[in-house]
Structure formats: C-alpha cells, structure tokens
Structure 1
C-alpha cells in the first residue's frame, strides 16, 4: 500500500513538473531547477501562477468583449463553472498522499489549468 502511494506521488510530481515546465516561462524553469525544498517549489509555482492568472484575466476580458448576445452570458457562466472545476480538481490532485508533495501537486495543477485556460480564451478571439 505504501509503495503504491509513493509511486503514485512520484508519478504525479513528475507529470506536474513536466507539464508546468514545458509550457510556462523560462523563469519558472530556472526557479524550479534551483528549488530544493517544498517551500521553494511552492514559491516558484505561486510566482508563475500570478503571471498566468494575469494572462487569463486579460484573455477573459478580451474574449468577453468579443461575444455578442447569448454567447456573452454563456461565457460568463462557463468561466464561473471552470473556476469551480479548477479549484475542486486541484484540491483533489493536492490530496493524494497527505504528504508535503501534495501541496506541490496541487499548486502545479492550479498553474497548469490556469495556463491552459488562458490559451483557450486567447484562441477564442484569435490574434
């Protein structure tokens, strides 16, 4: 049982770190490379999440302004539901083992999902 939990934690960490590092800024990768504690990794994720959250908010405002009629309300509803889903999904991802790695997995989840949603909203409007 404990081996299974450790293996799952290692897999989640590897996937979370890979996804986060692959699509985020070089500053995040440098920060994570230098991070040697859980607190440092959390700090890296928090810093990049701020960047991606700002990007998401800008993309959302632009996308919302571009919508007409019922699509505007649909986007409002979808975004509210997406926030609830992201928060619940990442709380789940961040509770697998009860250990400190859960915090890293949870914050990595928020970062990854925020970045992905920002891209979706940017693509909704186009260049």
Structure 2
C-alpha cells in the first residue's frame, strides 16, 4: 500500500472505527468484544444502528411536531440532505482500502452518524 493510502486508511479508521459508538454503549461493546469475524462486527453495528435509527425517527417526528411553517419545511429539507450526506460519507468510508475492514468501517460510520443525528434532533426540542 502506498504511504498516502496508508495514512488515509488510518485516518478513516480513526474517524469511523468500529469502537466509536461502542465506547459509550456497553451492549455494543460486549457484542464487538465477542465478534470474531467481519460479518459478526458488521452485525453488531447493524443491530445497534436499528436501535439508533428508531431513536432518530422518534426525535425527528417530535421535532417536526414542534415546528410550523417555514421552519418545519427547513427541518424536512435539512433531514433529507443529511440522509444523502450520511449515505455518501459512509459509502466513502466503507470503500477506502478495498479490504474487509471497509465493511466494518462503513457500518460503524452509519451507526455513529445515526446516533449523532438522533442526539442533535433530541436536543433541538429539549426534554
């Protein structure tokens, strides 16, 4: 691997590594600790992404209900753009090396971004 590609891969792994969300989630950490294959790690990320996606959808519905008119339309537009960005960003993260770690990086990226966006939407309207 070329030095520039190695640096880029290391950077992507650091930014979207499989332990980012796991650090703050004991159940995910336990799953990842027992995962012995790439497929198992991707499965751990996918299961937690479902949980975070449900949280995101609930927060989005709450935020939409709290806004009216132009502000509501802006939120809808922003969310649609965020989904496009998330998908493109994680596709990029999941294709850096051409190796099997890309699958883990891509699924970890989806999890991390979904969890972060759920936090943002929850904070938008408060408790």
What TM-score do the two structures reach when normalised by structure 1?
0.90
Deviation at residue 18 of structure 1 after TM alignment: 3.3
The answer (yes or no) to whether the contact 1:38–1:104 under 8 Å persists in 2 is yes
Query: Who is 1:36 aligned against?
Result: 36
The answer (yes or no) to whether the contact 1:66–1:125 under 8 Å persists in 2 is yes
Pairing 1:12–2:20 present: no
5+ residue gaps, structure 1, are: none
SS at match of 2:21: helix
For residues 52-91 of structure 1, the aligned pairs below 5 Å read 52-91=52-91
Deviation at residue 96 of structure 1 after TM alignment: 0.4
- Number of paired residues? 126
The answer (yes or no) to whether the contact 1:56–1:121 under 8 Å persists in 2 is yes
Pairing 1:122–2:122 present: yes
Query: Who is 1:50 aligned against?
Result: 50
What TM-score do the two structures reach when normalised by structure 2?
0.90
5+ residue gaps, structure 2, are: none
